[in-house]
Structure 1
Amino acid sequence: MDPIAYGPHRDQVADLYLPAADGRAPLVVVLHGGFWRAQFDREPAQPEARALAALGYAVANLEYRRVGAGGGWPTTFDDVARALDLLPELIEDARPGRVDRNRIVYIGHSAGGHLALWAAARHRLPSESAWRTETAPQVAGVVALAPAANLVDAYQRGNGNGAVAELLGGGPREFPERYAATDPSALDTTDIPIVVVHGDRDQRLPIEMAREYSAKSGAELVELPGIGHFELIDPDSTAWPFVVQALRRLTKSVDQQHR
């Protein structure tokens, strides 16, 4: 595991895990969950990152500033945007020839799923947004695991005991422009392949949110009966094969396009 800094702050770093085999591998950027709060860092995503590296992927387990330690609006989004813009080149500089830039996938869980969906839609952000890109990100797709896919809905439900209000500084009536710039459900992502994986026993973020987001956005939804919130990032769970299958389908489709 190699730490790759993408900025000067201690949380502007990604841990790089490489597969045993030499040569270029698909790059999976992991965005961890924890309702965007500082007490939850990238450490719980380490088993996920190691398992994916063992399957032949290059994995960047991304850290970012979080609420309570310099994160929230706008710095959490500053970090994610900066990291995803810079990491492919930084990794190439650090470990030449190990990453296939034609096969990059964002995979995020819970709050990290929100950030992954948001990052894939930066070209759809309002024109005044500093995070907007002119073109769609060059990614094979997104695997969103139990994501906070609708911030207005999550705010109204009180998911995470007010986590959305902490992230954005208040509610959608107070800061409509902040929600417009950060809520995946308000952005058109139909030109990026997205797979949402969600358990129907999730008590943290209800599967109804995933159903509504997928119906609106055109994302593929994989519903897992009897699965809760955390099994999706546990390589030993019965949910894990479905996560790997979604990832493989996204990277395989890119392989076929380049033949």
Structure 2
Amino acid sequence: MLKKIRHTLLAAAAAGSVGGTALAATPMTLQDYLALSGPAPTRHVPYGVAPSQFAELFQPAGAGPFPVAVIIHGGCWTREFGGITQMRNMAGDLARQGIAVWNVEYRRYDEAGGGYPGMYHDVATAIDRLRTLAPEHQLDLARVVLVGHSAGGHLAQWAGARARLPRSSPLYVADPLPVPVVISLGGLADLRHEQALIKTSCDRDMAQLAGVASAARPDIFSDTSPAEMLPAGVRTVLIHGEHDTIAPLRAGQDYARRAIAAGDAAEVLVLPGGSHYDEVAATSPCWAIVAAQIRKALGI
């Protein structure tokens, strides 16, 4: 099935279009990504006292209730490579399509309180904060999708699986907001098996992302790596650019095989002509594929 999907999309690439949309002639670069921007959010919502503990709400025009896309930026878990500002590009486009967007910022490994466990606490707290915002902003929390890019793909997949966390984990919460679908855009989610890839692509060591082992927590991946938390009980859509060298297609395929073997639903899609950065740019021709998957996940 994975080969069939890939071959179908690559054939469309050769024809010059997917779903009637012309494909990118030149894959986006890091510089193109860093130049992305979008409209100002409807509301800036702090969920903690640290500078990076906030999220942005993009509320569509008109009357709700609105389905919600929670988007989590990447950037190799560091402040160095942009983040929430670039994600406003896709947030603005989704809001124009009638989808409320919750654009999450969090403390990265090189910020005070970031890494393990703070980074995970931030993502979880931000997502669960939607419950308090829903009545005022007409948010339909029965229709929520998590969308994460790169390092944010890891955090989105982790958030989708956190109901599986053991009570012994410092990251455990009793009643996390349930999310039925996670869309990972060039995600780096299997911390244990992709250590070499994460080191090559992001120059990150596992202690920066997953903490250090202790007698109480001998396996640092048990509560940080989504691949160790399967089955998560969610459907995962793993989308990779054809030319993504940071999180190549093989990484998504390997994760999908593990998820399916554990009993979860998972599928892999390729963005023909796309890079690691076309995955999150509403200005890229590849966006038609990504946006269609978000609408599908929300029942639109």
Alignment TM-score, normalising by the size of structure 1: 0.88
**Is there any run of 5+ residues in structure 1 with no aligned partner, and where?**
none
Instruction: State the partner residue of 2:277.
Output: 230
Pairing partner for 2:246 from 185, 196, 204: 204
Instruction: State the partner residue of 2:117.
Output: 74
| Aligned equivalents of 1:203, 1:235: Cα separation in 2 | 20
What number of residue pairs does the alignment pair up? Answer: 247
The alpha-carbon deviation at position 189 of structure 1 amounts to 3.6
After TM superposition, the runs of 4+ consecutive aligned structure 1 residues lying more than 6 A away are none
The alpha-carbon deviation at position 133 of structure 1 amounts to 4.3
| Aligned equivalents of 1:24, 1:31: Cα separation in 2 | 22
Structure 1 residue 46 and structure 2 residue 103: aligned?
A: no
Instruction: State the partner residue of 2:203.
Output: 161
Moved more, 155-164 or 142-151: 155-164
Moved more, 58-67 or 39-48: 39-48
Structure 2: which amino acid aligns with 1:36?
W
Structure 1 residue 217 and structure 2 residue 264: aligned?
A: no
Answer yes or no: is the 8 Å Cα contact 2:134–2:140 preserved in 1. no
| Aligned equivalents of 2:104, 2:126: Cα separation in 1 | 8
Answer yes or no: is the 8 Å Cα contact 1:120–1:136 preserved in 2. no
Q: Percent identity?
A: 33
Deviations 1:38-69 (A, max 9, x none): 23331111111111111111111110011211
Structure 2: which amino acid aligns with 1:5?
P
Structure 1: which amino acid aligns with 2:83?
D
Answer yes or no: is the 8 Å Cα contact 1:35–1:163 preserved in 2. no
**Is there any run of 5+ residues in structure 2 with no aligned partner, and where?**
1-40, 261-265
The alpha-carbon deviation at position 164 of structure 1 amounts to 4.1
| Aligned equivalents of 1:20, 1:45: Cα separation in 2 | 19
Deviations 1:149-189 (A, max 9, x none): 21123322323122544323469xxx852212111111114
Q: 1:64 to 1:112 in 2, by over 3 A?
A: same
Alignment TM-score, normalising by the size of structure 2: 0.76
Rg larger in structure:
2
- CA RMSD across the alignment: 2.0
Answer yes or no: is the 8 Å Cα contact 2:272–2:286 preserved in 1. no
| Aligned equivalents of 1:148, 1:100: Cα separation in 2 | 29
Answer yes or no: is the 8 Å Cα contact 1:6–1:87 preserved in 2. no
Using CA pairs under 8 Å that are at least 6 residues apart, name the structure with larger relative contact order, 1 or 2: 2
Q: Determine helix, strand or coil for the equivalent of 1:143.
A: strand
Structure 2: which amino acid aligns with 1:151?
L
Structure 1 residue 57 and structure 2 residue 104: aligned?
A: no
Answer yes or no: is the 8 Å Cα contact 1:145–1:197 preserved in 2. yes
The alpha-carbon deviation at position 123 of structure 1 amounts to 1.5
Q: 1:127 to 1:161 in 2, by over 3 A?
A: same
Counterparts of 1:185-200 in structure 2 under 5 Å?
185-200=227-242
Structure 1 residue 117 and structure 2 residue 160: aligned?
A: no
